[in-house]
Amino acid sequence: MPKGLMGLLAILGLEPIGQNVFRGSSPNPSFQRVFGGQLIGQAMIAASRTVEARMAHSLHACFVQPGDPKVPIIYEVELLRNGKSYSTRRVTAVQHGKAIFSVVVSFHVGEQSAFEHQDKMPSVQQPEELTTDALSRNPLFAELPEGVRRWYEPDRVIELPYPPIELRPVEFGHYMGRKLRDERIHFWLRIAEKLPNDPVLHMCALAYASDWSLLDAVLARYGRTVLDDSNILGASLDHAMWFHRPFRADEWLLYVKDSPSAQGGRGLARGSIFKRDGTLVATVAQEAAIRTRR
């Protein structure tokens, strides 16, 4: 990981300051607002610290108002339920005495299932085939914005305040104003640092990264992106995630995203996350406010 880049372990390292109360900070105080994935990941860490012998299987979050990266974030955990099979926690993130984010996280003891199925992973290029060297012969690759081209460089991670992750987009036509063929975006991602063998940490890390660029699934249908279109105003409204099967967040995962609807100044995006062997490990859904600048 490049020198000076705050690691994910440090970002998720919350400080306990009271009973079921924790304090977190942002990696880049100079940024305009707190990255939504940071709030999701840190809140999930806080919730997980109040549960024993149970793993999170879902979260449902609401972004109340923008967070201030210069101010510590207080996470208050409410113990809503401790049942035989499930536990439920509500976490509220607070700054300046006001809630900026709220999430309900559900935990499960785990059990044998009478039913087992999953969607099939799409057949796409592998991350080793999506590097600068591998794509250099493609004439369209040279036309990509420089910031996007750098994602394909070995060991290149996206800049703060976003999570320290490596990205390898499979399609890149929409970064040049072209519409998607099948209205889906595929990209490989992984956390850019080796993580401990703690499944809770890997789930929180993926929750952190899952918020990255979901809005692009809406805009890509029109050949537009949030990266190069200053007329687009977008903000996440809510975020839901379901965890299906074990995985490691520091290994390559395929994120498949699409947008089934956009209307009334809002756009809905959903995503499926697969291991390289085709195992479906998580499902994501998010709605965002999306407008054009007048």
Q: Which one of 102, 211, 258, 259 is the catalytic residue?
A: 211
How far apart CA 97 and CA 100 sit, in angstroms, is: 9
CA angle 104, 261, 167 (to 5 degrees): 70
Residue 286 among the catalytic residues? yes
Catalytic residue flag (residue 211) = yes
Residues 6+ apart with CB under 8 A from 269: 214, 215, 217, 218, 257, 258, 259, 285, 286, 287, 288
- Eight-class DSSP state of 222: G
Tell me the two tokens of residue 199: 């499944």
Decide if 256 contacts 122 (C-beta within 8 A): yes
Helix runs in the chain, H state only: 8-11, 36-48, 132-135, 146-149, 199-210, 216-219
Among 38, 106, 236, 272, which one carries the catalytic annotation? 236
- Residue 88, Cβ density class (10 Å: 0-12 exposed, 13-18 middle, ≥19 buried): middle
Q: Any idea how long the chain is? A: 294
What distance in Å separates the CA atoms of residue 266 and residue 289, rounded to the nearest whole number? 4
Which residues are identified as catalytic? 211, 236, 286
